[in-house]
């Protein structure tokens, strides 16, 4: 009989690609993870993982078992949801991981609404970038992720997750006040090819949006300054350190007197934001009101 706990460990190893990283995510020791993998291989009668200097990858048998593991774990989430519904599920704690702007834009307003509509639900919020928050959901460290579409993100039909679209917003060009395009009504990304750039670090989903926008415009941006804090990005632009593309919502309530902000000419790069829960958990009586409140808070952002 295959233990579901070991299937969860197999999926964590597949997601994190090293035993050490999977162990840290699951709050286990690497030796415990290795022992559970060995036990799972003994249960199945197949070698499931291959180790190399670059990490761990699943064998063909491991890939087959992972497909079934996703289905089994999703069904267990549904079972928990139905049992919680049977027991009323009107009170409890839900943990939400979201990036900073998403917290201000949708999570905080959702908390205000939930205090009125579902006072028995306590929401705990953690600040995490979109690429990190999705793994936190899969590793059961949090219940809900408010994340950003990025290169390499799980697809909408990923069997491990259920995604709820929230909103999409354009990026605007942020220029120093003396920039040659400061008087333009709109700025084409291609016209910034020769400028130094300021942007998020690689790994931040917004970094991918910026780099892809430049690639589509026919060049690779010369990123001379890096920060995941958009206030720092704007400050550097005001010091004429370079140009940037910044999500429009991140510029709200920010002092922009030292920079010029212009919409992007043509099809603007866009940040697409969604909520995600583990597949099968969307109907949990604690999660359903939280997801509804997030959707309602996001509606004005369109």
The per-residue pLDDT for range 239-265, each reduced to its tens digit, is 999 999 999 988 988 889 999 999 999
Distance CA 143, CA 159 (A): 16
Mean pLDDT of 76-90: 73
- Comparing 57 with 152, the larger pLDDT belongs to 57
**Nearest to residue 289, comparing CAs of 164, 114, 163?**
114
According to the model, what pLDDT value does residue 87 have? 66
Gyration radius from the chain CA atoms: 22
| Weakest mean pLDDT among 70-74, 216-220, 229-233, 288-292 | 70-74
Residue 90's pLDDT band, with cuts at 50, 70 and 90, is low
- Percentages helix, strand, coil for the chain, rounded to the nearest 5? 45, 25, 30
Helices 4-16 and 130-138: angle between axes, nearest 10 degrees: 160
CA distance 55 to 20: 9
Q: How far is 175 from 177, CA to CA, in rounded Å?
A: 6
Residue 246, beta-bridge partner list: 172
229's CB contacts (< 8 A; 6+ apart) are none
Minimum mean pLDDT range among 77-86, 101-110, 118-127, 219-228? 77-86
Can you tell me the mean pLDDT for 43-70? 88
pLDDT of residue 89: 60
pLDDT at 126: 96
15 burial type by CB count under 10 A (0-12 exposed, 13-18 middle, 19+ buried): middle
Contact 297, 144 (CB under 8 A): no
Whole-model pTM above 0.95? no
Q: In terms of Cα–Cα distance, which of 190, 159, 184, 186 is closest to 75?
A: 159
Whole-number pLDDT of residue 185:
95
Distance in angstroms (rounded) separating the CA atoms of residues 299 and 289: 15
Structural domains for the chain: 4-83 (1.10.10.10), 89-165+272-298 (3.40.190.10), 168-271 (3.40.190.10)
pLDDT (tens digit, 9 = 90+) per residue, 218-246? 999 999 999 999 999 999 999 999 999 99
Q: Which of 138, 131, 147 is nearest to 10 (CA)?
A: 138
């Amino acid at each position: 009989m295959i233990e579901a706990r070991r299937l969860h460990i197999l999926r964590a190893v597949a997601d994190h690609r090293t035993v050490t990283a999977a162990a840290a995510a699951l709050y286990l020791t690497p030796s415990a993870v290795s022992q559970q993998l060995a036990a799972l291989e003994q249960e199945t009668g197949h070698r499931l993982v291959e180790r190399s200097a670059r990490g761990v990858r699943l064998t063909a048998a491991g890939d087959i078992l992972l497909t079934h593991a996703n289905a089994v774990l999703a069904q267990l989430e549904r079972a928990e949801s139905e049992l919680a519904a049977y027991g009323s599920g009107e009170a409890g704690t839900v943990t939400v991981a979201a990036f900073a702007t998403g917290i201000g834009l949708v999570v905080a307003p959702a908390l205000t609404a939930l205090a009125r509509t579902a006072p028995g639900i306590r929401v705990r919020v953690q600040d995490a970038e979109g690429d990190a928050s999705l793994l936190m959901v899969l590793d059961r460290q949090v219940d809900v992720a408010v994340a950003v579409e990025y290169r390499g993100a799980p697809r909408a039909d990923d069997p491990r997750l259920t995604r709820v679209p929230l909103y999409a917003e354009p990026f605007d060009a942020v220029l120093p006040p003396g920039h040659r395009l400061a008087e333009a009504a709109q700025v084409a990304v291609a016209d910034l090819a020769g400028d130094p750039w300021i942007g998020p670090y690689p790994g931040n989903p917004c970094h991918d949006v910026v780099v892809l926008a430049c690639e589509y415009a026919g060049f690779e941006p010369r990123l001379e300054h890096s920060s995941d804090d958009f206030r720092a990005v704007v400050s550097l632009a005001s010091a004429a350190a370079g140009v940037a593309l910044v999500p429009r919502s991140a510029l709200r309530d920010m002092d922009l007197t030292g920079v010029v902000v212009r919409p992007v000419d043509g099809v603007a790069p866009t940040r697409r934001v969604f909520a995600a829960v583990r597949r099968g958990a969307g109907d949990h009586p604690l999660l359903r009101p939280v997801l509804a409140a997030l959707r309602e808070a996001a509606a004005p952002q369109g």
